[in-house]
Structure 1
Amino acid sequence: MKKKFMHIRLVVFILLFCINAMGCQGKTPSVSFYALTPIAVPQNTSGGQGRLENVSIGIGPIHFPRTLQRPQIVTRPSANRLDLSEFHRWGGDLKQDFLNVLVQNISIITGSNQIFKYPWSPSFKPRYRVTLDVIQFDGRLGDTVLLNSIWEIKQGEPGNEKSEIKRSIIEQPISGEDYNALVKAKSDALKTLSVKITDKITVMDGT
C-alpha cells in the first residue's frame, strides 16, 4: 500500500512538473517598439543657419524599398540575407517616420518654420522641393547602418526650375549590440543626410 501511494505521488509530481514546464515555454516574449528621433535643438540658440531662416522647403515624396515597408525591424546579417525581428518593431510606419524626422531635422538646422512634408497645401509654394529615393536603410547588429539614397533638389516653379541630383551613401557605426543601438545609428545616419541636403540648399540659395 505504501509503495502504491509513493508511486501515485511520483506520478502527480511528474505531471505537475510537466504542466509547469509547458506553461513557462508558452510565455511569449514581449514586443519592443522603436522610433527614429530628430536631432536635439541646440540650447540657448535658435539652431538655424541664418541664411535659410526665411526659406520655404517642401520635402517629399519619398520612395522606400518594399523590403522595409513592414512593422518588423529588418537587419542584414550578410549581403544576400535579411532578418525580420518579430519582437523588435517600429512604433509606426517607417517611411512616414523617416519623412517626419527629415522635416524636423531640416527645420532645426535651418531655423525655418516653412518646412513642410509632401503632400502639402496647394497654397504652399516652396522655393525648394526635395524628393528622395531610399535604396537601402538597414544594418547589421553591432556593426554599421547603411543609408543609401538618391535625392533631388528642385528650385523654382515647376516648368521653370533648376535641379541638382545627388547620391549619398552613409555608413553609420552602431555603438552597441542591441536594437536600441541600431535604431540610434539609423537616426544618426538620417541626421547626416539632413545636413547634406541642407548644405546643398544653402549653396544653391547663394548662387
Structure 2
Amino acid sequence: MKTSVRVIVLTATALLCACASPPAEHFYTLDAVAHGSPPAPGNSALSIRLGPVNLPEMVDRPQLVLRSGPNEVRLMEARRWAESLRSAIPRVIGSNLKRQWQDVQVSSTLDGTTAPARYSVAIDILRFDSTLGEAVELEARWRIRRDGKSLQAGSMAWREPVQGAGYEDLAAAHDRALASLSRQLATSINAAERAP
C-alpha cells in the first residue's frame, strides 16, 4: 500500500513539474537566398544605404505572428525571431544586393555608418503576413535617393508559397519574398545608374 501511494505521489509530482516548466523556445532567422542572380551590368562600385525600414506594428515584435483568419492572428510565444525584423530585413536585403554587383558597399541606418552613400533606400513594409503551411505575403514600397536628391519610388506585392509545414519553411519563404524585393530594388538602382 505504501508503495502504491509513493508511486502516485511521485507521478503527481512529475506531472506538476512538467506542467510548471515553460515550453521550449525556438528561434528563427532570415537569411539571404543561397543562389543569387549574376552581377548586374553597370557601375560595379556602388554605395547604398538601406533604411529606415518601417514595419507594421502587428509584426514588429519578437514572436512569429501567424495569420489564422481574415481578421485574426496568433502570437506564437514559443516561436520567435532570433533578431528584430527591423535589423534582419535590411541585413538580408543588403546581402542579396551584394549578389547583384561585383563590388558594392551596402550599409544600414542601424549600423552607425556615417560615410555618405550614392544611393539611400527607405523601405516601408506594409504587409509581412505568415500563414503556416500555405504562404507568406510581402507588400512593400520604397523611395530611392541618389546623391541626396529624390530619384524614384516603387512598390511591390508578393505572395510566396511555403514549401513545407514547419516554421523553418515559413522563415525560408520570407527569405525568398525578400529576395524578390531585393531584385526589384536592384533593378531600380541599375536603371538609375544607366540614366543620364
Q: Same fold (TM over 0.5)?
A: yes
Question: Which ranges in structure 2 are unaligned for 5 or more consecutive residues?
Answer: none
Q: Which residue is 1:165 aligned to?
A: 153
- Partner deviation per Cα, 1:60-92 (whole Å, 9 max, x = no partner): 111111122211111111121121111111111
| 2:119 aligned to which of 128, 150, 161 | 128
- Partner deviation per Cα, 1:172-204 (whole Å, 9 max, x = no partner): 100111110000001110001000110111112
Q: Which residue is 1:3 aligned to?
A: none
Q: Which residue is 2:64 aligned to?
A: 73
> How far 1:165 moved relative to its partner?
1.3
1:96 partner SS: helix
Deviates more, 1:104-113 or 1:80-89: 104-113
Kindly report the root-mean-square deviation, in angstroms, between the aligned alpha carbons of the 2 structures: 2.0
CA distance in 1, matches of 2:104, 2:189: 16
> How far 1:121 moved relative to its partner?
3.9
Q: Which residue is 1:34 aligned to?
A: 28
Matched-pair contact (CA < 8 Å) for 2:107–2:113: no
Distance 1:121 1:33, change over 3 A: closer
The answer to whether residue 97 in structure 2 is matched with residue 106 in structure 1 is yes
- Give me the identity figure in percent: 26
> How far 1:167 moved relative to its partner?
1.3
4+ runs deviating over 4 angstroms: none
Question: Which ranges in structure 1 are unaligned for 5 or more consecutive residues?
Answer: 1-5
> How far 1:47 moved relative to its partner?
4.3
| 1:89 aligned to which of 68, 80, 83 | 80
| 1:139 aligned to which of 130, 135, 149 | 130
The alignment of Structure 1 onto Structure 2 pairs a total of residues equal to: 194
| 2:42 aligned to which of 51, 56, 77 | 51
Q: Which residue is 1:181 aligned to?
A: 169
Matched-pair contact (CA < 8 Å) for 1:48–1:112: no
CA distance in 2, matches of 1:75, 1:112: 38
So what's the TM-score if we normalise by structure 1? 0.85
So what's the TM-score if we normalise by structure 2? 0.89
Larger Rg: 1
CA distance in 2, matches of 1:203, 1:123: 24
CA distance in 2, matches of 1:24, 1:58: 49
